[in-house]
Amino acid sequence: MKKYELALVLNAKLEDDARSAKLEKIKEMIAHFGGTITNVDDWGKKKLAHYIQKMSEGFYYFIQFDAEATTPAELEERLRIEENVIRYLCVRQDEE
């Protein structure tokens, strides 16, 4: 298993309940594809560097997980069509 980190930006117009539900759904996706979540960092609402879909703010999350090499591709394929996910990036963490 390799270590990965998913950077996620959600729509700032989401209510707290909807945002929590979306985050839980993404965590379930990671688990569904064989990943084990090790840490979730909630950075809160931040200003975006530039407008994305006419929005200037978003909620930032960083999810660290252990998974097989095929999991990030499967996850990104699902996140691409997920509503209210503005941006995402999944990267492999360096071995320490």
Percentage with pLDDT > 90 across the chain: 67
Q: What is the pLDDT of residues 39-78, one digit of tens each?
A: 999 998 999 888 988 889 999 999 999 999 889 999 999 9
Q: What is the pTM of this model?
A: 0.87
pLDDT band at 32 (very low <50, low <70, confident <90, very high): very high
Checking if the pLDDT of 95 tops 80, the result is: no
The correct CATH number of 8-59+67-87 out of 3.40.50.1470, 3.30.70.60, 3.40.50.1820, 3.30.70.120 is 3.30.70.60
Residue 84 backbone phi and psi in degrees, to 5: 70, 5
> Is the distance from CB of 63 to CB of 39 less than 8 angstroms?
yes
pLDDT of residue 54: 86
Q: Is the pLDDT of residue 4 over 90?
A: yes
Position 37 scores a pLDDT of 93
pLDDT value for 52: 86
Residue 96 pLDDT: 63
